[in-house]
Amino acid sequence: MKKESELPPRSQDEVSSVQLKRDDSFARLTLLVAALCFAAAAAHFFAAWYLHAWQYWFTGGLTILAGVGYLVIRGLLPLHRLALTRVLAWLIPYLLFPPMAFFWSNATLPLIAVVFVMQLFQGIVLYGRKRLPLILALALFGVVTVLVINAFPLWPRYDATGTWLSRLVLMIVPALAGLVILMAAIRGARRFRTIRTRLVVAFVVAVLLGAGVISVGSIVVTRQNTIDQAYTQLDAVVLLKEEMLNAWAANLYLDLDTMLVEEYEIDRARMLLSGTGADALVSEMRQSLRARLRRLVDQARRFDELFLIDPAGKVALSSDQAQEGKFFTYETYFQKGLQARYISPPTYAFSTGKVAIFVVQPIFDQDGSLLGVLGGRANMGALNDMMLRGAPLGQSGEVYLVGINHALLTELRIDRYAYLQNPGIDTVLQKQNSGQGEYEGRRGDPVLGVYKWLPDLKMALLVEMERAEVFQGTQQTLWVNVILAVGAAALAVVIANFFTQDISLALTELSDVATRIAGGEQGLVAKTDRADEIGMLARAFNSMTGQLRELIGGLERRVEERTQSLEAVAEVSRATTSVLDPEKLLPQVVTLVQEHFHLYYVGLFLVNENGDQAVLRAGTGEAGRQMMEHTWQLEIGGESMIGQCVATGRPGVRQTEGDIVVRFENPFLPQTRSELALPLRYGTQIIGAMTVQSVQESAFDKTSIALLQNMADQVAVAVENARLFTTTQQALARAYEVQRRYQAQAWEDYMSTRPVTGYELRANELQPLTEELLPDVRQMLRDRRPFVESGKLIVPIVQGDRIVGVLGFEGREGQTEWGAEEIALVQALSEQLLLAAENQRLLDQTQRSAARERTIGEVTGRVRQALDMQGVLRTAADELQQVLNLERVVVRMAPQDELDT
Amino acid sequence: MKRAALSHHRARPIFDRVIFALVRSLGVFLLLSVLLVVGLSACRRAPEVEKVTLRLSGPHSVEWAGLYAAQLEGYYAAENLDVTILPAADASSSADVLAGEADFGVMSGGDLLLARARSEPLVAVFAILRRSPLAVMALAENGIVQPRDLRSKRVGIVSADMRAVKDVQFLSLMEQVSVTLAELEAAPVGEEGIAPLVEQRVDAIAYAWATRDAMAAREAGYEVTLSYFFDYGVLEYPYVIFTDASTIARRPDLPARFVRATLAGYRHVLINPDRAAELTLSYDPSLNLEAQQAMWQALIPFIDTGDAPVGTMEEGVWQSTQWVFLNHGLLEAPVALNDLYTNQFVAQSGN
């Protein structure tokens, strides 16, 4: 087994394919993400309904599409369409997040972050780190897409940070991506090698996750409550200050109302404003009224100046004498004041160099005739004090008033500005309504602000608190939570380490025992002193190893038995194939089978010539002998096991098994408890059957039946071979006898045609021999073996078992003995001589046959050359006479009936 | 090869083929979306920047800081305008506008009233100063704290015939406080600034600018007293931005965009007062930064009176100006004030 590092490097496709195929957690992850997408879509749709923002219908639709996409990925995984899966997985975040910029404003950064992180994460998971440049390029492309879409809004977009719900929905986007990555990270933790490490990591992750969820939840709730409380507080201050402003304005009117109450005062005012009366009297009246105005200014201190303006707009009287004689004919507050009570917007007063508010009202005489306008320039210091005083807004809280053109009408507690601009001021001045929001304050810090437009005063009231101060408590909660989470994680590590060490040690011991057992120490047992699951595992392990030991021992025994059986089969086969005589073979087969398989009885049946009976041809023991004497035969297809076995070609078994007792009827085999009938199959032919019987109950199982059947098949082959051998031998003997007779007849015929039948070579002279046989030759013919005597050697020429001639030799003078080699040489020579003589005979015979054929041909040719029947007959007669050297030839043509007679 | 690929394609499971088609469709959709975005962005390409010329009624000065801010801080550009701000030339700004050499001009409300009386179709759209800084100025040591104190004093006027607009306005002021010319000594000094005063050739100047003239006197070490004309019912817009009436009728978007950006420019320098002088020096580096800063601070109350949006004009002021001119023969008949000015563009600009 090669280690992973030794294996040839696999392509990235293969690696990813293996990852995707092997790990079904990827499939579960896609299902989880799909479910999250649908949940997120529900949040979008809720936001669309709750906020009346159509944009969320579309973002919800996009999220639904993403969920469907992940379901499609889940469906693709079993199809192993890896490339398609990759493309789809890459497309989904791309189709989901950037298009949201079409519908959301102020969501650029979260969308960019999510697109970039998701594309980067998915790219690495799907394509591996080797393609990091490409992945980075694709991720950046996603970012650019968000920026492009954001730069060119096609329709009004919804402020994603405008409300708590929209912020929550916006947070779902990075939360979704974060959850996916977290799941992948937890999945990656499975790469830790030891259970202990995994358990510790799992403990810590669980604790951190729990603490994190609780912390985030508490922080979110706390923050939201804090914001709500802050806005409630700011609203209360706005309400308070508005009430104070209304009271202040009411008091201003009240002061004006009390200025000219008495009739004499009105007469004086009329006299002054109309300019009637003696100069001295008017002057006195003026001084008297001016003194009164000054007293009112000094006492109430709500006005810096009080004045009377005549209908032409000329200041007839003022508590500030320098203002008398001026004309306010075209001033708005004067013109308004001629008609009704009026309080002017904050207006710059050049006489004082400060912003002032003018409060005016018309004055009438007893007849209701308009005398002029009574007015005053309000004390802005009181207004300033009103804003600065009594606002429970912590260190950073500010309450201030802003004019139409962003001019700061009251002082700030902390800084000094003439003009002020922030989103809160812009909104309230632009829309001239009330509202609240979080925006950048005067020093660039985010503030929570509540603003209200005061239509009567034509100014805006703003109350602000710095966000940092508002969330100071939340910050502390956050830090406490972080510290608690870290502490809990550390504690989790310690506790997990403590518990997992115990588990890990026990498992390690068990692992060591298993390793040693695998190494061959099969007698080892694991400790079982624990009462927990590991103790149960150890006991189960010991039980398993015990069973394994027994199993291995049993297997070894069975292998040994099987080996012996196979050896017996081989022995039987070897022995049977070496015997070709069926009369010897069959008894030998049954004996060998009985001996090698320790059987009670073995019998062998062969099908008779009629094919209707299986005749016992061999049987072991006394029982076999007796049954042979009784010519034991069984009907094929009958009720007997052998008959059924031969008829069906399938083995049959009957045996006593436990309570199931089988009765065996054969009186010669009373001790049989198990019987097996095996067909003797030779090809498709059943030539007989073999019965094997045992005194043991349930002696034959499937394995032993198969084994014995295998042996029976080989026995069948041996039997059939022996039978075929015998048949062949008999055919050969018959052919040999025919040949011998033919050759003998041929030689007799041939020799009868020869004038000389023997030759003698003496002194290099060849002489024909007479027909009379020499005595020595007669002796040799009687003995049918070489004759050696007195230097003579006579060797028969034998053809088959017949002597067709002899070779005789007589040694030179003095040679009385013939050596064995010389005899053998002569015998060999005699064989060659016979062969040459046989060839010569055959040649002569052939030549004669050829001459006859030629003659027939020639005669036939000449006969055919005749032109008429008479010619034919004549030519035939002539030729036959000539060829056959006949004296008379008769050729006659006649009808059949004549010939018959 | 292609045949093999096709046969392979045919051999795919139908689900696989549907998914493949779906993914391909999504890819095409994405591509088309990107092309659509790019196309729309191309279609939404900003039209050509419109060149606009503005003729001032005086040299470059911090008084026009809002205009400089609108141009240099990008408010005009945001309205797709590129405004050339030209200082006063020999020809009047009204002549330039009527001749089509300038799209907008700056002049005083009185001059505009007179131009309108001459049937010149000019319309004021924005008041740079909502209060006139015109005042009678005297050295503090002369004890003149209000106009009636001018009796028996030597007062510097523009011309001896008292027909100049400012002389007429001064006459009106005197009438309001019931002081006749015979009760004082009028000395024609032209428009020399504070020189006649500090050289004690006169006890008071009938027409001084509470901003630049008073500052110059104070810089010269003199304490001065000021009697504003507007405190006595003699009102006028000293600087109004105007344009041709036909421009408003033909292309109302141009004055609307111009006024909106101008208002934003003035608001910018009100909120960031230090920038006013800096921006002014971008147009005339020879100016003194500190002096311009001080002048801006003095100008702020005249630009933002607090009771109405910057640039807004009030009918009472125009009535006052017309009343003065009618009383002293500069106008023979009243002018339709509704045709003379409009606040619609300021109102459209919001706050």
Q: Which residues pair with A689 in a beta bridge?
A: A605, A679
Predicted confidence (pLDDT) per residue in A364-418, tens digit: 877 788 889 999 999 888 888 888 887 777 888 889 999 988 999 988 877 777 8
What average pLDDT does this structure show over B309-332? 93
Mode of pairing for the β-strands spanning B50-55 and B104-107: parallel
Please give the C-alpha separations between residue A395 and each of A400, A446, A465, in angstroms, as whole numbers: 15, 15, 8
Is the pLDDT reported for residue B17 higher than 80?
Answer: no
Torsions phi, psi of A814, nearest 5? 90, -15
What average pLDDT does this structure show over A873-890? 83
Q: How many CB atoms lie within 10 A of CB B211?
A: 24
CA–CA dist B313, B309 (Å, integer)? 9
Cβ-Cβ contacts under 8 Å, A152 against chain B: 37, 40-41, 44
* Residue A652, helix vs strand vs coil: strand
Quote the pLDDT of residue B2: 39
CA angle, A215 then A216 then A220, to 5°: 120
Residue A413: exposure state from Cβ atoms within 10 A (0-12, 13-18, ≥19): middle
Per the rule left: phi > 0, alpha: psi between -120 and 50, beta: everything else, A686 is beta
The confidence band for B27, taking pLDDT boundaries of 50, 70 and 90, is low
The confidence band for A24, taking pLDDT boundaries of 50, 70 and 90, is low
The confidence band for B21, taking pLDDT boundaries of 50, 70 and 90, is low
Question: What is chain B's percent helix, strand, coil content, to nearest 5?
Answer: 50, 15, 30
Gap from A421 CA to chain B (nearest CA, Å): 7
Quote the pLDDT of residue B302: 94
Average pLDDT, chain B: 87
| DSSP H stretches of helix in A420-471 | 423-431, 467-470
Task: Identify which of A182-196, A773-787, B185-199, B265-279 has the greatest average pLDDT.
Answer: B265-279
What average pLDDT does this structure show over B265-279? 94
Predicted confidence (pLDDT) per residue in A762-784, tens digit: 878 888 887 777 777 888 778 87
Cβ-Cβ contacts under 8 Å, A326 against chain B: 231-232
Task: Identify which of A185-189, A307-311, A886-890 has the greatest average pLDDT.
Answer: A307-311
Contacts of residues B298-302 at CB distance under 8 Å and 24 or more positions apart, as own/partner, are: B298/B210, B298/B211, B298/B214, B298/B215, B299/B62, B299/B63, B299/B129, B299/B133, B299/B211, B300/A418, B300/B270, B300/B273, B301/A348, B301/A350, B301/A353, B301/B131, B302/B129, B302/B130, B302/B131, B302/B132, B302/B133, B302/B210, B302/B211
Do A216 and A505 touch, CB atoms closer than 8 A?
Answer: no
Quote the pLDDT of residue A4: 38
- Closest residue in A to B297 (Cα–Cα): A418
Mutation target for B interface from A58, A143, A327, A410: give the one with most B CBs within 10 A. Answer: A327
Gap from A144 CA to chain B (nearest CA, Å): 11
Gap from B42 CA to chain A (nearest CA, Å): 10
Mutation target for B interface from A30, A95, A309, A350: give the one with most B CBs within 10 A. Answer: A350
**Percent of all residues in chain A with a pLDDT value above 90, rounded to a whole number:** 13
Among candidates B306, B319, B320 on the partner chain, residue whose Cβ is nearest the Cβ of A347: B306
Give the predicted TM-score (pTM) of the model: 0.57
What average pLDDT does this structure show over B16-26? 58
- Closest residue in A to B39 (Cα–Cα): A152
Among candidates B235, B273, B307 on the partner chain, residue whose Cβ is nearest the Cβ of A418: B273
Quote the pLDDT of residue A387: 87
Residue A578: exposure state from Cβ atoms within 10 A (0-12, 13-18, ≥19): exposed
Is the pLDDT reported for residue A56 higher than 80?
Answer: yes
Quote the pLDDT of residue B93: 92
Quote the pLDDT of residue B11: 45
CB contact under 8 A, B26 and A91: yes
Quote the pLDDT of residue A9: 42
- Closest residue in B to A86 (Cα–Cα): B23
CA–CA dist B229, B173 (Å, integer)? 6
- Closest residue in B to A457 (Cα–Cα): B307
Gap from B189 CA to chain A (nearest CA, Å): 27
CA–CA dist A37, A260 (Å, integer)? 75
- Closest residue in B to A312 (Cα–Cα): B233
Cβ-Cβ contacts under 8 Å, B14 against chain A: none
Residue A263: exposure state from Cβ atoms within 10 A (0-12, 13-18, ≥19): exposed
Is the pLDDT reported for residue B94 higher than 90?
Answer: yes
Q: Pick the closest to residue A526 from A543, A547, A502 (CA basis).
A: A543
CA–CA dist B214, B222 (Å, integer)? 9
Quote the pLDDT of residue A520: 81
Gap from B90 CA to chain A (nearest CA, Å): 34
Mutation target for A interface from B20, B126, B136, B307: give the one with most A CBs within 10 A. Answer: B307
Predicted confidence (pLDDT) per residue in A422-447, tens digit: 889 989 998 888 999 888 887 778 89
CA–CA dist B273, B286 (Å, integer)? 20
Average pLDDT, chain A: 83
Among candidates B176, B273, B304 on the partner chain, residue whose Cβ is nearest the Cβ of A327: B176
Tokens of A35: 């479910």
- Closest residue in B to A352 (Cα–Cα): B301
Gap from B17 CA to chain A (nearest CA, Å): 10
The answer to whether A313 contacts chain B (CB < 8 Å) is yes
Predicted confidence (pLDDT) per residue in A207-257, tens digit: 777 777 777 777 777 778 888 888 999 999 999 999 999 999 999 998 888
- Closest residue in B to A155 (Cα–Cα): B40
Quote the pLDDT of residue A151: 83
Do A73 and A44 touch, CB atoms closer than 8 A?
Answer: no
The confidence band for A21, taking pLDDT boundaries of 50, 70 and 90, is very low
The answer to whether A99 contacts chain B (CB < 8 Å) is yes
Quote the pLDDT of residue B226: 93
Cβ-Cβ contacts under 8 Å, B235 against chain A: 330
Do A624 and A603 touch, CB atoms closer than 8 A?
Answer: yes
CB contact under 8 A, A404 and B37: no
Predicted confidence (pLDDT) per residue in A292-350, tens digit: 889 888 988 889 999 999 998 999 999 998 888 899 988 889 999 999 999 999 998 88
Tokens of B210: 């509470």
Strands of chain B (E only): list them.
50-55, 81-86, 104-107, 122-127, 134-139, 154-157, 185-188, 204-209, 224-228, 240-244
**What's at A800, amino acid-wise?**
G
Is the pLDDT reported for residue A363 higher than 50?
Answer: yes
CA angle, A295 then A299 then A301, to 5°: 110
CB contact under 8 A, A347 and B23: no
| DSSP H stretches of helix in A389-447 | 423-431
Predicted confidence (pLDDT) per residue in A391-406, tens digit: 777 888 889 999 988 9
**Percent of all residues in chain A with a pLDDT value above 70, rounded to a whole number:** 94
Q: Which residues pair with A308 in a beta bridge?
A: A317, A374
Quote the pLDDT of residue B38: 53
- Closest residue in B to A142 (Cα–Cα): B34
Residues 50-79, chain A, touching B (beta carbon < 8 A): 72, 75-76, 79
Cβ-Cβ contacts under 8 Å, B311 against chain A: none
What average pLDDT does this structure show over B312-330? 93
Is the pLDDT reported for residue A10 higher than 70?
Answer: no
Among candidates B16, B37, B351 on the partner chain, residue whose Cβ is nearest the Cβ of A430: B351
Among candidates B13, B309, B319 on the partner chain, residue whose Cβ is nearest the Cβ of A404: B309
Q: Pick the closest to residue A603 from A555, A552, A541, A646 (CA basis).
A: A646
Is the pLDDT reported for residue B44 higher than 60?
Answer: no
Among candidates A149, A351, A406 on the partner chain, residue whose Cβ is nearest the Cβ of B37: A149
- Closest residue in A to B146 (Cα–Cα): A322
CB contact under 8 A, B19 and A91: no
DSSP class of residue B181 equals G
Among candidates A322, A332, A421 on the partner chain, residue whose Cβ is nearest the Cβ of B146: A322
Predicted confidence (pLDDT) per residue in A97-148, tens digit: 888 888 888 888 888 888 888 788 777 777 777 778 878 888 888 888 888 8
Quote the pLDDT of residue A6: 38
Gap from B102 CA to chain A (nearest CA, Å): 29
CB contact under 8 A, A72 and B146: no
What average pLDDT does this structure show over A849-855? 86
Predicted confidence (pLDDT) per residue in B111-157, tens digit: 999 999 999 999 999 999 999 999 999 999 988 989 999 999 999 99
Among candidates A84, A420, A458 on the partner chain, residue whose Cβ is nearest the Cβ of B23: A84
The answer to whether A348 contacts chain B (CB < 8 Å) is yes
Q: Pick the closest to residue B56 from B104, B9, B19 (CA basis).
A: B104
Hey, what's the torsion of the CAs at A98, A100, A103, A104, to 10 degrees?
Answer: -90
Is the pLDDT reported for residue A845 higher than 70?
Answer: yes
CB contact under 8 A, A348 and B317: no
Side-chain-side CA neighbours of residue A455 (13 Å): 4
CB contact under 8 A, A81 and B16: yes
CA–CA dist B337, A330 (Å, integer)? 15
For residue A547, what are the contacts with CB-CB under 8 A and spacing of at least 6? none
Quote the pLDDT of residue A724: 87
Is the pLDDT reported for residue B200 higher than 80?
Answer: yes
Cβ-Cβ contacts under 8 Å, B232 against chain A: 325-327
Is the pLDDT reported for residue A507 higher than 70?
Answer: yes
Among candidates A84, A94, A406 on the partner chain, residue whose Cβ is nearest the Cβ of B270: A406
Q: Pick the closest to residue B335 from B345, B349, B325 (CA basis).
A: B325
Quote the pLDDT of residue B19: 56
Q: Pick the closest to residue A76 from B22, B4, B8, B10 (CA basis).
A: B22
Mutation target for A interface from B137, B146, B225, B305: give the one with most A CBs within 10 A. Answer: B305
CA–CA dist A121, A137 (Å, integer)? 13
Tokens of A821: 């080699």
CA–CA dist A8, B335 (Å, integer)? 100
CA angle, A113 then A115 then A119, to 5°: 120
In DSSP notation, B93-105 reads: HHHHHHHTS-SEE
Tokens of B131: 């209060």
ipTM for this model:
0.83
Residues 639-668, chain A, touching B (beta carbon < 8 A): none
What average pLDDT does this structure show over A12-32? 58
Is the pLDDT reported for residue B23 higher than 70?
Answer: no
Please give the C-alpha separations between residue A624 and each of A60, A362, A588, A619, A634, in angstroms, as whole numbers: 95, 155, 13, 4, 14
Interface size between A and B, measured as CB pairs under 8 A: 125
Gap from A345 CA to chain B (nearest CA, Å): 5
